[in-house]
Structure 1
Amino acid sequence: MTTLDKRQRVANPTYEPQPYSVTGYPTFRSFYPYYLGEHAHPVCLVGTTISLSVFVRALLAVLPLLSPAKQFAALRFGTQGWKSVGKLLLGGLLQGYVWAWIGHFFFERNKPATFKHPFYSLLGDLTLWKEVATLKRRP
């Protein structure tokens, strides 16, 4: 299957803005075309990419805390153990939201869907990121 074929099978492949449903969105599948219409600018992936990178770093930072062996010592983050990992996770969460809001307000010129649909918005971020990373969608 070519990349073009894959793109034709995804929701809202042209990122056309969709009107907001006044009845809400009962499923993520019904929400996703609206989400894509609000994320047409390529910069919309920056916040998700930074957050995912920080979360992966936090997972790596846990290894030295779980293993008494010194083999993972180079992966240690900070000097406060679990508290340092918690700060890293909080930083990753904040990075995601700050960059997303900058993208929405200054590049997309719309309001983030996070305020009305926090879970669907997070799932939309991850789905869009995955689709771009696997070449099912252009950024």
Structure 2
Amino acid sequence: MATATEIKTDGFQSFAEFYPFYLQEHSDKTCRRLHFIGSTLVLALIAYVIFTSQPILLWALPVIGYGFAWVGHFMFEKNKPATFKYPIYSLMADWVMYKDILTRKIEW
């Protein structure tokens, strides 16, 4: 059993087990900021598509979202994005971290 200071790194049985690992993989402030910027641009593009009725632009969502995140991981965090191994949990965690940054639970 892991102690309070140990973070599980594999074999997650729930999102609650995964999220501390995800945050550990995003300890670099610049990486977190790039995730936040990419997620904000994703939301802005979705709003733009809705208001302009231009669904063709939806192809850019993964480019924007993953583009900013992967720059953060490869250039600043120096690790492999968790989405490669845990795509669903990582997508969920992206938005939880986004909310946690907005509510200042996590440092910007």
TM range (shorter): 0.7 to 0.9
Segments of structure 2 that go 5 or more residues without pairing to the other structure are none
Aligned-pair RMSD on alpha carbons?
Answer: 2.0
SS at match of 2:12: coil
Moved over 3 A (4+): 16-19
Report if aligned partners of 1:114, 1:121 keep a CA contact under 8 Å in 2: yes
TM-score (norm 2): 0.80
TM-score, normalised to structure 1, is 0.64
Q: Between the two proteins, what is the percent identity of the paired residues?
A: 38
- Correspondence list, 1:51-70, <5 A: 51-62=42-53
Distance verdict in 2 for CA 1:111–1:117, change over 3 Å: same
Preserved CA contact (<8 Å) 2:101 2:107:
yes
Paired residues of 1:35 and 1:121 also in contact (CA < 8 A): yes
Residues 1-139 of structure 1: matches in 2 within 5 Å?
18=7, 20-21=9-10, 24-43=11-30, 44=32, 45-62=36-53, 84-85=54-55, 87-139=56-108
Counterpart CA distance in 2 for 1:17 and 1:118 is 23
Q: Unaligned stretches of 5+ in structure 1?
A: 1-15, 63-83
2:79 partner letter: N
Partner Cα separation in structure 2 for residue 92 and residue 109 of structure 1:
24
